[in-house]
Structure 1
Amino acid sequence: MHGIESPVAVQAAVQLDEVTKRHGRGKAAVDALRGVSVELPSGSFTAVMGPSGSGKSTFLHCAAGLDRPTSGRVLLEGADLSGVREAGLTRLRRDRIGFVFQSFNLVPSLTARQNIVLPHRLARRRADKAWVAEVVERVGLTGRLDHRPGELSGGQQQRVAIARALAAKPAVVFADEPTGALDLSTGRDILALLRATVDAWRQTLVMVTHDPAAAAFADRVLFLADGRIVDAMDRPGVADIADRMTTLGA
């Protein structure tokens, strides 16, 4: 396989193999991703960065099974997603993938507790109460579970979203600008929390961000430009990331 490979020989939670994603047809066609190959190791924290229009969102959507590549393969824990029908993909996203978005995506009429276990209710299966309790304690929501989103701060709402993502014990959590709607201090708390889930539980985490300070929490930073992975850094500092982004034209 060509491309940026994982720095250690650990099973890949997610693997992209020559993935291309084309939008439009004919002369108007645009390749958002161009032959991307990468392994995201299990139990690691990967940040994905790049200038606007570099393909970050498309990378996340293809890797998470939200969008199908035009060509190439995406594998989740070794299973090829290309042959999975839409209903199967929906189940897989619900059972094996967690999502954390900038906009929290909570149901306003439900309490924090109800939001956290909502995916289990939709799947008509029981939540592991002991695990949910451990997650709630880890994310710092004890005592806030009966509050609705409108009664919580932005940071607390994002903690609910993170707890919801972790409650199903996913193979991988995808975070799309998870601190974009938060103030600096709260954002750092959330990033430290995400880092802790990787260190304590070996949770696999993939985060798209434009913020070098956020990316510095990751084990590895991938840099996208014009739909290709053009560089990767292992445990870089904020200044190193910022310098690399400058050379990419960010």
Structure 2
Amino acid sequence: MIGTQDPPAQPVVRLDSVSRLYGGSKNRVTALDNVSISLERGTFTAVMGPSGSGKSTFLHCAAGLDRPTSGSVHLDGVDIGSLREKALTKFRRERIGFVFQAFNLLPALNVVDNVTLPLRLAGARPKKAVVDQVLEQVGLSGKRRSRPGELSGGQQQRVALARALVTNPAVIFGDEPTGALDTRTAAEVLALLRQSVDVVGQTIVMVTHDPVAAAYADRVVFLADGRIIGALERPTVDQITEQMQKLGTWGDPFAIQQTGHEVRR
């Protein structure tokens, strides 16, 4: 029957010709340079590059923490550049989750209260079933009443992940989420991120310098001098390390396999 085909899925994150400049005319720095990329729902994307390549600026613009100098950012179908500050804050709180290297937990609050803080800030009453589900998902069902000071670093990062998941966000952005963890604990947190993509269809965008962490992603996008210079699909740790070494020594960064800007499941 004509007209019964589903429309093509809209990317959950889309950057169109995004540039971000800092400083004045005499000391201008181009942190992002005409970046365009689309990320589909239910995918895990790692963003890598040398120091100063624009990784953090990319994350901040994509997540609405910083406004581009030019270009547009659409997140979950919304042009976030068109939102006033109050509306943007509300949108971030309701539709975006964040997991940082610093756990950013409130020491006086227990696990449940830290996890439900975004909901309460939004004026919503946390549903016990939802809270129970995310705590079970991150393996903290037995730590509900513990305070951050009573938890290991890995457990604190699990609380931060549960806090990001509890609002059922369109995207979770991670900025070096395992940077403060030992190797074994980092692997546990990365496995939870991977599981949230595979099991519940979460979308994750993670900035990292660690090839082992990046190998958990479906796709690794490489930045240099504020530009996307290539990507690898489902790469191994060795492949990622090789490309980062090329970038670090400024060999031929364009040797990275060019695979286009669409992330595929």
Short-chain TM bin:
over 0.9
1:233 is the counterpart of 2:232: yes
Return the offset for 1:81.
1.1
Return the offset for 1:92.
0.5
C-alpha distance after superposition, 1:156-213 (max 9, x if no partner): 0000000000000000000100000000000000000100000000000000000000
Q: How does 1:30-109 map to 2 (within 5 A)?
A: 30-109=29-108
- Do the aligned residues in 1 keep the contact of 2:111 with 2:147 (CA within 8 Å)? yes
Map of 1:6 onto structure 2: none
Query: What's the C-alpha RMSD, in Å, of the aligned pairs?
Result: 0.9
Map of 2:171 onto structure 1: 172
Q: Give identity over the alignment, percent.
A: 62
1:182 is the counterpart of 2:181: yes
**1:118 corresponds to which letter in structure 2?**
L
Return the offset for 1:123.
1.1
**1:80 corresponds to which letter in structure 2?**
D
Measured in 1, the distance between the counterparts of 2:137 and 2:118 equals: 19
Map of 1:191 onto structure 2: 190
- Do the aligned residues in 1 keep the contact of 2:112 with 2:131 (CA within 8 Å)? no
Measured in 2, the distance between the counterparts of 1:54 and 1:71 equals: 18
1:19 is the counterpart of 2:18: yes
**Is there any run of 5+ residues in structure 1 with no aligned partner, and where?**
1-8
Map of 2:140 onto structure 1: 141
Map of 1:3 onto structure 2: none
Instruction: Return structure 1 stretches of 4+ with deviation > 4 angstroms.
Output: none
Return the offset for 1:10.
4.1
Q: State the secondary structure of the residue aligned to 1:38.
A: strand
Return the offset for 1:249.
1.3
C-alpha distance after superposition, 1:206-243 (max 9, x if no partner): 00000000000000100000000001111000000000
Return the offset for 1:129.
2.1
Measured in 2, the distance between the counterparts of 1:88 and 1:129 equals: 27
Measured in 2, the distance between the counterparts of 1:111 and 1:27 equals: 49
1:121 is the counterpart of 2:106: no
Measured in 1, the distance between the counterparts of 2:164 and 2:127 equals: 14
Bigger shift: 120-129 or 189-198? 120-129
Map of 1:4 onto structure 2: none
TM-score, reference length from structure 1? 0.95
Measured in 2, the distance between the counterparts of 1:52 and 1:70 equals: 21
Q: State the secondary structure of the residue aligned to 1:170.
A: coil
**2:43 corresponds to which letter in structure 1?**
S
Q: State the secondary structure of the residue aligned to 2:72.
A: strand
Between the two proteins, the alignment pairs up a number of residues equal to 242
Return the offset for 1:77.
1.7
Measured in 2, the distance between the counterparts of 1:211 and 1:99 equals: 19
Q: State the secondary structure of the residue aligned to 2:53.
A: coil
